[in-house]
Amino acid sequence: KAGVTQTPRYLIKTRGQQVTLSCSPISGHRSVSWYQQTPGQGLQFLFEYFSETQRNKGNFPGRFSGRQFSNSRSEMNVSTLELGDSALYLCASGSMGLATRGELFFGEGSRLTVL
Amino acid sequence: DAKTTQPNSMESNEEEPVHLPCNHSTISGTDYIHWYRQLPSQGPEYVIHGLTSNVNNRMASLAIAEDRKSSTLILHRATLRDAAVYYCILKNDNQGGKLIFGQGTELSVKP
């Protein structure tokens, strides 16, 4: 069974640009949640999508957005990039929504560097 | 959101048991205790979770205090592959179930 796939694995952008990251969950999983990991703030929850609907959102500005497609693949977008957006962005796949006891399966992440 | 407190780092010898503590004094009755670990250069990996009773699975055991204000993740025989950052997380399914990660405990395992 294939795991969670995140693309691209590495990317470099400059301030002011925008970026789109992709996450393909495990086949059959309908929940995708996104996290930002930085050395200073650790792992922080961004948002969760379940069956194409955003069900939960963390405390991030509106520059961070996402969506989920009918095949459960998800994308997150960050507009007007700032230096502080440099981070490892992780997505997690679940067979049910976050509001269940099920375990989550994480991808290896997309490492974004903003110059 | 309820918070957890863990030691920043711990050391263990290979093939010895490891007890990783977690304090969560503000836990609510509906918070589940989840543990994830993150190996170097990888995403987090689910380890175990529980509510009130002690739990065992193939990876580890979870011992939960009677008042639920603390818990301990037990690795019965540490291997070099267990070197990772271990996160203790409170997950409230009634509040959307999002994972709120703390700083975690960095476990190093010596051969």
pLDDT number for residue A99: 60
pLDDT at A97: 65
Closest to A106 (Cβ–Cβ): which among B45, B49, B93? Answer: B45
Is the CA virtual torsion B51, B56, B62, B66 positive or negative? positive
pLDDT at B2 (0 to 100): 61
Whole-angstrom distance, CA of residue B80 vs CA of residue B93 = 34
- Positions in chain A short of pLDDT 50: none
Per-residue confidence (pLDDT) for residue A103, from 0 to 100: 86
Residue B20 pLDDT: 98
User: Taking an 8 Å Cβ-Cβ cutoff, which residues of chain B contact chain A?
Assistant: 32, 36, 41-46, 49, 87, 93-104
Q: Which phi and psi angles does B63 have, rounded to 5°? A: -105, 125
- Which residues, in sequence order, are bridge partners of residue B32? B91
pLDDT recorded at residue A2? 73
Q: Using alpha carbons only, what angle is made at residue B8 by residues B7 and B10, rounded to the nearest 5 degrees?
A: 75
Q: B87–A43: do the CB atoms touch at under 8 Å?
A: yes
Residue ranges for chain B with pLDDT beneath 50: none
* Residues of chain A neighbouring B101 (CB-CB closer than 8 A): 35, 42-45
Give the distance from residue A8's alpha carbon to the nearest chain B alpha carbon, in angstroms.
15
